[in-house]
Every structure is written in structure tokens, then in C-alpha cells.
Amino acid sequence: MNCGVPFCQSGMKLDGMFTGCPLHNLVPEWNDMLYLGNDRHALSRLLKTNPFPEFTGRVCPALCEAACTCGMNGDSVTVRDNEKYIIEQAFGNGWIEADPPANRTDKKIAVIGSGPAGLAAAQALNRRGHNVTVYEKSDRAGGLLMYGIPNMKLDKRIVERRISLMRQAGVGFELNADVGKDVPAEKLLGEYDAVLLCCGAKQPRALNAPGIDSEGVYFAVDFLTAATKQVLDGNGAISAKDLDVVIVGGGDTGNDCVGTSIRLGARSVTQLEMMPSPPVQRTPDNPWPDWPRTLKTDYGQQEAIAVFGHDPRLFETTVNRVVPDSHGRVSAVETVKLKGRDKVSGSEQLIPCQLLLIAAGFTGCQSYIPKAFGIETDERGNIKTVRYGTNIPKLFAAGDARRGQSLVVWAISEGLAAAKSVDEYLMGYSEM
């Protein structure tokens, strides 16, 4: 590969942002195997660090590519596409099979939440030989992989394929089981040798504006969940057909709302972003291999440009107030320009809107879960831990619930690290 130093697998913090793969994927090794035509060996190197390449190969923002040595003077290697190719070749050739452990311990572990962190931890602990049961409050396993990421971005058959393999390997799944409400915390602590909370950061950040309680205002996660249920079950979508849709939030979730709204037949789509528009290219104070602070036009915005003829984003703009009609349903939003955090007087503008989606991020895990277990949270609403252990014996936490809203690849990394801590707690040592 002749990379010199392979920054792609560094997973380190530079200038306040992470660059390189948090899983420390052995990218140069499996890229070289692809070049030599040895797909089977490429797979073995890929699975050495990443249990779910079929997820990261589709939804990861590719921190590895941003840090690729080739990107210093040109285009990076297409690492994420290569990753997806390797794993799908493996599934297509029958190389991926359920792998139940040869021997079982007598330890029972409950994993709360079946998102990427919970799945990664459950798979690792099951391979170790422990008896693992995953509790999921929704009707399907997968967490945000199932109901937080749109189907066109991550086909749910891909998620179900992995869940099926895990079931065959001996992992148990309890669905429609809302821990802290339907399932008492004391019951789990009494029945299991260890409990791992991977319940995500699902408390959406509210928008403080007059009229926000109007009908037709939804959090993005509820909108995306309903759209996925429509695809899977034929019912549940929140209608966007022939409506003017306004989305508050410029991140990945906001972009997913743009793409989903277009597919549901929206008449127009406007996306509000509080921050200024980033530069198109790296600036001198943002050199390689730092994460590029540049303008990203993702699939949702690209589709909006193709359908409506213009970029849907309005930068340095937020909602000043929501205007309901005589029936209490949103009919328009008044926007206002921002200078930093301050509103610019006289910049108010009225935009037609019959569907307002709030994609302004999350403020930690839902509070009823830590309250049910009696565990401490920090000022951001995240569960406090020391090496993934909480202030309650045999209770651990990982993923977004512990570190806050983040990427799928970080959740997988957290799940694997927490699994090792749980194993050490149960067995007195760990070779995971």
C-alpha cells in the first residue's frame, strides 16, 4: 500500500475533532488483499476489528477516508465502499455463518437496547460463552439502525439478516420490553449477573418558539420511525404529500428528513441551519489529517437540488415563531437570521409550512431509565461511568447513553469495549 503512516486507522483526536477509524480497522491490510484478489483474507482482516461492516459500510461518514494519506494531495481511497464490497461478497458466497460458542459459562447478562452498541456488546459477550439476552422496547430489534436511519440509506433486510445470525448463535431478544417501565430495573438486577445499558441518547432537543405546540410539529426521530414503519408494515407514515416541509437542523438526521420528505411527496423542503455555511475546501487552519470542516452536500440535499432546483439549506437561520391556522395546525414559520447566537433584528421572514420537523439533536438518554436504576448522570444527561461501570455494582453503560449522541462506528467501538469490562467483572480477567 505504501501509505507511510496509515492515519486511516488512527482513531485519534486532532484539533478538537476525531480523525481516522475509532475501531482501528486494519484498512491498508484488507485493501491490499482486495488488490491481490484475495477477498477471503480481506474479510478475515476486516472482521478482526469490525463485527458489523455491513452497517458501517453504508452509514458511516468515513472518518478513515478523511484521514487517508492519499487525501493529503488528492482523492482518498474509497475505504467505505471497499468495506461494503468485502462484507457483501462474504454474505453472497456463504462465508458468514452463525458462530455459537463451543462452551458456555454460567453467567447471565442483560443488554438493554439493540442499537449498534448493544448488538456489538451482545455478540462479543455471546462469543465469549456468556448467556446474553437483549431487551428492546420497540417491536423490532436494531435500535436506531432500524428506526432512526431511513430505509433507502440502510435497508432493514440488512439489519434483520444480522439479527437472525445472532439469534442462531444463541443471543436472546426480548422485544416490546421497555426497561424502566414495563420491565422493572430490580427484576433485571436480581436475575442477571450483569446488566449493560445501551439505551441510546433518545431525548430529543426541543425547540423553544411561540406556537411550537401547534399540530403538524414533530421530532425528527418520530417522523423517521413512522416512515420506516410505512415501508415495513404499510402504515404509520406522517404525511408530507403536497406539503411545505421545514426542517430545523443541519446534521445527518436533518438530511435524512430532507430525503424522506421528498420521497413522501413534499411540495417544498427547507432546511434551517443555525451555523454559518462552511467553506467548500479546506482552509489553512484545517489541514490534513484533521477532520475536514468543509461543506458537505449529502444525498438528501443533492436530491432536493435535483427535484426543486436549489439547495434546501438556509444557514445562520432559525425559527422565530410558529404560525398556526384557525384549527391550530401549523401554516407557516417565521424565520430569523442569526449572528452567532443573537437574532438579527429586521431579518424575519415568513415561510409556508404545514409540516415542521425538529432535528436539533439530542440531550442524553431518556431520564426514566437512569432513574429506574438509581444511577448518576452528568450535566448533559449522559450516564456517568468509570471504565463503563456505573455507581451501581454489576451495572454498566455504553454507546450514546454514556458518551452522548454520536456515530454508529463509535457505538460499535463502545459496545466492544464495554463487553470486555463486563467480562473482566464476571470472570476476573478477559482475553476479549
**Residue ranges of domains in the chain, CATH in brackets:** 7-92 (1.10.1060.10), 108-202+363-427 (3.50.50.60), 217-358 (3.50.50.60)
Q: What's the predicted TM-score (pTM) here?
A: 0.96
Half-sphere exposure of 70 (CA within 13 A, CB side): 10
pLDDT beyond 80 at 245: yes
With cut-offs at 50, 70 and 90, classify the pLDDT of residue 183.
very high
Which pLDDT score, from 0 to 100, does residue 253 have? 95
pLDDT beyond 90 at 1: no
pLDDT beyond 90 at 297: yes
351 or 73, higher pLDDT: 351
With cut-offs at 50, 70 and 90, classify the pLDDT of residue 2.
confident
Tens of pLDDT, residue by residue over 355-364, are: 999 999 999 9
Tens of pLDDT, residue by residue over 207-232, are: 999 999 999 999 999 999 999 999 99
Tens of pLDDT, residue by residue over 401-411, are: 999 999 999 99
Which pLDDT score, from 0 to 100, does residue 16 have? 87
- Mean pLDDT over all residues of the chain? 96
List the grid coordinates of 219.
421530532
With cut-offs at 50, 70 and 90, classify the pLDDT of residue 3.
confident
Name the percent of the chain lying above pLDDT 90.
94
